[in-house]
Amino acid sequence: PEIALGQALAGSGIAELAAKGSFKADAAPLALATSLNITRRDGKQGKLDASIHFAPADNKLDLDLKASEPAGGIIANLLKLPDAPPV
């Protein structure tokens, strides 16, 4: 889906994003897997890729998160990082 974030979240102007993802659940034994990809669609650089795998019977939780954006980006703004550095 297409997503638009206002200035309060984006930091400057409106940020246009596209997101796609997947989710899988197995009942026995319980296991959950999900992935998410978010990219900027407004001419600015920025992306986030995440995947999570949870298998409680195996005492397993894997999280892989990669994010990148230039200075003044959404993540730096949300985290209120001083001088909004690149992430």
Segments making up each domain of the chain, as ranges: 2-78
Examine the pLDDT at 78 and tell me if it is beyond 90.
no
E-strand ranges in 1-87 read 2-5, 15-26, 31-40, 47-55, 60-68
Q: How does residue 8 score in pLDDT terms, banded at 50, 70 and 90? A: confident
Give me the pLDDT at residue 84, please: 87
**Cis upstream peptide for 29 (omega within 30°):** yes
Is the overall model pTM greater than 0.85, yes or no?
no
